[in-house]
């Protein structure tokens, strides 16, 4: 069944794409098989992370940016992630409706997702969904996510190009950006730039950026003013994204990012297998029963020593299969 | 030096406590040694997680609750965590000043913390800090954290008793609670209950709680109305916390929670060691050079197969030392 879905995906079947995304997003049976098959066909799309505080107009901007990219004959996948609701399966993304106008364009594929289990889970599920759209042949994959601390950072790290969106007068939001996102933004957008304080917001941003020293060869993040609802400045944003894509290729940085992304992915797979094996060992009792008793009850063994002893047992018995 | 700090901590030295907390929070040299020494003296304190949206009055409530617990002759440790700023070392907890009045009480120890590296990092650092306060002899440790999705959930999971704070008319906040926190709250507080809509907010909460089915023996989360600034209802909250503490003990649930907490701690230690070993192997090149090339460039090997091959190598060579 996965094989058939995969074959259909390769022939451009949108329903197969939707089905495969659900499969990997929810980690359903067959998900690993699907990811294995997809891998050979991934690594081509340019992944753009778009983040910023609620109300900055990210969805409208993503819609307008997609229009610009389409006018340059690029196909676009959109993944809208809301990591703030850890337990709900469905995403609460009301303004996703704004993207409706794109729904009839065969060159665009849109997907909203909530979050999955643990935090690592959100970033990993997003990665898997991006891979489906990559294999589906989309030239650009835009990942939109709400500003939400660490989750946001983890998701943005998946991207080749990170776009940070803010809006005029969002003083606190800029403080928040300063606290975390300034370091990872490749392009900054002041959206709703028809508002009064937009010049000041852009100035504040550029002052902050000047504080982080950059070498002469290094990418200098542009600050772009946009009015997403009218499309103003969005062409410039599209150009900046394409320029950054070129920059990464020319400096061998795309390869480095891909290496880091795949290393992180493999590490997470390994860690999950180790966790499953350890939890099974502990549940089954046996020799670890005594260990747990000494960690938990008598407190003779501390967690670090306990971890070493568990690892030793895993290694000796080859339990990590 | 760690040994001396530890000795001083055991003799009740507050400065040693502060120093040890910094040590484990920032993962400084000696941190592991400190955690090892502390372990034998932990597992006694009752850990209370207090969470809710910004503006719900958590800090004031924590201060008032501390006063109530002190009047019952219990000593209190307070850890205030702000996980929303992943990169800043220092915490941006302005209203921590409200807790100043507690600063002269020897039976209270207050600590603010920002966040550390990865998300797992925040929860783990919090766990380590709680352990210092536990070993320092505090009867109750209150962990206050801002509502921020998954991080919050991870931190709250450390607690024996989880208190979820909301306020009247916070319709959206209740939706957010519904989405994630309802499942893990042991006690719900409607703070600022002198406001008009407090009855309705409490009613909405109780309706939502009724939706989650509970067995006859199961803990039924109370909904408590408080006015933290005047202290109204906070005595009732203190009683509810102590009642939940008894409930856990009587039903053997405290032990189960501790087992889960220590298992999670050991798993994280193991996963970190595995990550370090794998990254070293990849960096060093050697046999993994070829593997990475096949995953990254030719795409012959998918990440799941790659993970299996890396694990096999780790096991064969006993690299996990």
The token pair that represents A150 in the structure block? 């660490």
C-alpha–C-alpha distance, residues B98 and B106, integer Å: 17
Residue A80 lies in a domain: yes
The token pair that represents B27 in the structure block? 């993962």
Confidence of residue B278 (pLDDT cuts 50, 70, 90): confident
Out of A130-134, A196-200, A279-283, give the one with best mean pLDDT: A130-134
**Whether residue A97 sits in one domain with residue A229:** yes
Residue pair A167/A195 in contact by the 8 Å Cβ criterion: yes
Which one, of B314, B274, B285, lies nearest residue A259 by Cα? B285
Residue A197 lies in a domain: yes
The token pair that represents B316 in the structure block? 């064969």
Tell me whether residues A303 and B262 touch, CB distance under 8 A. Answer: yes
The tens digit of pLDDT for each residue in B43-87 reads 999 999 998 877 788 889 999 999 999 999 999 999 988 655 443
**Whether residue B161 sits in one domain with residue B93:** yes
| Best residue in A42, A53, A55, A149 for a mutation probing chain B (most B CBs within 10 Å) | A149
The token pair that represents B285 in the structure block? 């090149």
Between A319 and B206, the higher pLDDT residue: B206
C-alpha–C-alpha distance, residues B3 and A65, integer Å: 59
**Whether residue A141 sits in one domain with residue A213:** yes
Residue pair A165/A52 in contact by the 8 Å Cβ criterion: yes
Residue B129 lies in a domain: yes
pLDDT at A86 over 70: no
Residues of A in contact with B301 (CB under 8 A): 39
Between B5 and A146, the higher pLDDT residue: B5
What pLDDT shows up at residue A93? 44
What pLDDT shows up at residue B94? 42
What pLDDT shows up at residue A85? 44
Residue of A nearest to B83 (CA): A149
What pLDDT shows up at residue A156? 72
- What's the rounded mean pLDDT across residues A229-235? 95
What pLDDT shows up at residue A98? 57
Residue pair B158/B170 in contact by the 8 Å Cβ criterion: no
Residue B19 lies in a domain: yes
**Whether residue B194 sits in one domain with residue B87:** yes
Tell me whether residues A154 and B119 touch, CB distance under 8 A. Answer: yes
Residues of A in contact with B305 (CB under 8 A): 36
Q: What percent of chain A has pLDDT over 70?
A: 83
| Residues of the domain holding A102 | 43-251
What pLDDT shows up at residue B171? 58
Total number of residues shown for chain A: 321
**Whether residue B140 sits in one domain with residue B7:** no
C-alpha–C-alpha distance, residues A79 and A95, integer Å: 14
Confidence of residue B238 (pLDDT cuts 50, 70, 90): very high
Taken in order B313, B314, B318, B319, the sign of the CA dihedral is positive
Give Cβ neighbours of residue A187 (< 8 Å, ≥ 6 apart).
A161, A162, A163, A164, A221, A222, A224, A237, A240, A241, A244
Which one, of B21, B147, B136, lies nearest residue B84 by Cα? B147
Query: How many other β-carbons are positioned within 10 Å of the β-carbon of residue A119?
Result: 24
Tell me whether residues A265 and B303 touch, CB distance under 8 A. Answer: yes
**Whether residue B277 sits in one domain with residue B222:** no
User: What rounded mean pLDDT belongs to chain B?
Assistant: 84
How far are the Cα atoms of A279, A289, B145, B162, B264 from residue A284, in angstroms, in the given order?
8, 8, 35, 29, 16
Between A282 and B23, the higher pLDDT residue: B23
Beta-strand (E) ranges in B201-276?
223-225
Residue A257 lies in a domain: no
pLDDT at B276 over 70: yes
Residue B61 lies in a domain: yes
Write the CATH number for A165.
3.40.50.300
What is this model's ipTM? 0.81
The angle, 0 to 180 degrees and rounded to 10, between the axes of the packed helices B119-135 and B253-284 is: 130
What is the distance in angstroms between the Cα of B227 and the nearest Cα belonging to chain A? 28
What is the distance in angstroms between the Cα of A196 and the nearest Cα belonging to chain B? 28
Tell me whether residues B265 and A303 touch, CB distance under 8 A. Answer: yes
Tell me whether residues B86 and A36 touch, CB distance under 8 A. Answer: no
**Whether residue A155 sits in one domain with residue A108:** yes
Residues of A in contact with B318 (CB under 8 A): 315
Residue B257 lies in a domain: no
What pLDDT shows up at residue B182? 72
**Whether residue B54 sits in one domain with residue B25:** no
If one counts the domains in chain A, the total is 3
Residues of B in contact with A35 (CB under 8 A): 302-304
**Whether residue B102 sits in one domain with residue B18:** no
**Whether residue B209 sits in one domain with residue B65:** yes
Between B181 and B208, the higher pLDDT residue: B208
Tell me whether residues A85 and B315 touch, CB distance under 8 A. Answer: no
Residue of A nearest to B147 (CA): A84
Element (H, E) at B112: strand B108-113
What pLDDT shows up at residue A152? 66
What is the distance in angstroms between the Cα of A253 and the nearest Cα belonging to chain B? 14
The burial class, CB within 10 Å (0-12 / 13-18 / 19+), for A89 is: exposed
Residues of A in contact with B258 (CB under 8 A): 296
Q: Report the predicted TM-score, pTM, of the whole model to 2 decimal places.
A: 0.76
**Whether residue A75 sits in one domain with residue A8:** no
Q: Give the one of A88, A149, A304 whose C-beta lies nearest to B269's C-beta.
A: A304
**Whether residue B48 sits in one domain with residue B31:** no
The burial class, CB within 10 Å (0-12 / 13-18 / 19+), for A210 is: exposed
What pLDDT shows up at residue A226? 96
C-alpha–C-alpha distance, residues A245 and A47, integer Å: 9
- What's the rounded mean pLDDT across residues A125-133? 92
The tens digit of pLDDT for each residue in A150-170 reads 556 677 778 999 998 888 876
């Amino acid at each position: 069944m996965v094989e058939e879905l995969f074959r259909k995906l390769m022939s451009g079947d949108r329903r197969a794409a939707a089905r495969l995304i659900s499969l990997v997003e929810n980690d359903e049976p067959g998900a690993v098989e699907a990811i294995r098959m997809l891998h050979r066909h991934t690594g081509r799309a340019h992944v753009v992370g778009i983040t910023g505080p609620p109300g900055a107009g990210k969805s409208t901007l993503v819609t307008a940016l997609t229009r610009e990219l389409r006018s340059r004959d690029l196909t676009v996948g959109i993944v809208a992630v809301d990591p703030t609701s850890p337990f709900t399966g469905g995403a609460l993304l009301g303004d996703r409706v704004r993207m409706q106008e794109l729904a009839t364009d065969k060159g665009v594929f849109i997907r909203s997702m909530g979050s999955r289990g643990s935090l690592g889970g959100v970033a990993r599920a997003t990665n898997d969904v991006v891979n489906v759209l990559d294999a589906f042949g989309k030239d650009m994959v835009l990942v939109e996510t709400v500003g939400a601390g660490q989750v946001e950072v983890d998701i943005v790290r998946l991207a080749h190009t990170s776009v940070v969106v803010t809006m005029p007068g969002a003083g606190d939001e800029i403080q928040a950006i300063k606290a975390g996102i300034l370091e990872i933004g490749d392009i900054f957008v002041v959206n709703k730039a028809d508002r009064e304080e937009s010049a000041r917001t852009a100035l504040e941003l550029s002052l902050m950026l000047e504080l982080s020293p950059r070498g002469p060869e290094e990418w200098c993040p542009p600050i772009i003013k946009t009015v997403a609802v009218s499309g103003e400045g969005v062409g410039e944003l599209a150009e900046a994204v394409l320029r950054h894509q070129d920059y990464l290729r020319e400096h061998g940085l795309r390869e480095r990012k891909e290496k880091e992304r795949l290393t992180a992915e493999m590490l997470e797979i390994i860690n999950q297998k180790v966790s499953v094996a350890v939890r099974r060992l502990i549940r089954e009792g046996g020799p670890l029963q005594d260990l747990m008793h000494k960690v938990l009850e008598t407190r003779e063994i501390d967690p670090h020593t306990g971890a070493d002893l568990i690892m030793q047992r895993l290694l000796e018995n080859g339990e990590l299969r």
